[in-house]
Amino acid sequence: MKHIYLNLKRFDIPKEEGGVNSIAPINGWGSYIVEHTKDALAAYSEEEAEFIMYLPEAHLLPAVEALKGSSRIAIGAQGIHREDVSSGGNFGAFTSNRTGKAVKALGCASVLIGHCEERKDKAGIMAEAGVTDTDAVNRILNQEIKAAIAAGLTVLYCIGENDTEMDRWQEVLGKQLEIGLKDVDTSKVAIAYEPIWSIGPGKTPAGKEYIEKIAKFVKERTGGLPVAYGGGLKADNAAMLASIPEIDGGLIALTRFQGDIGFYPEEYLEIIRLYLGK
Catalytic center residues: 115, 194
Contact 113, 141 (CB under 8 A): yes
Cα radius of gyration (the chain): 18
In angstroms, rounded to a whole number, what is the distance separating the alpha carbons of residues 60 and 37?
A: 16
DSSP 206: P
Cα–Cα distances in Å, from 254 out to 44, 60, 114? Answer: 22, 19, 19
Q: What angle do CA 202, 208, 209 make, to 5 degrees?
A: 115
Asked if residue 29 lies in contact with residue 19, where contact means CB atoms within 8 angstroms, the answer is: no
Rounded CA separation 213/216 (Å): 5
SS3 state at 51: strand
d(CA 78, CA 110): 9
Q: How far apart are CA 265 and CA 26, in angstroms?
A: 16
CA dihedral 71, 263, 176, 99 (to 10 degrees): -60
Whole-angstrom distance, CA of residue 51 vs CA of residue 151: 20
What whole-number distance in Å separates Cα of residue 57 and Cα of residue 226?
Answer: 26
Per the CB < 8 A criterion, the answer to whether 23 and 265 are in contact is: yes
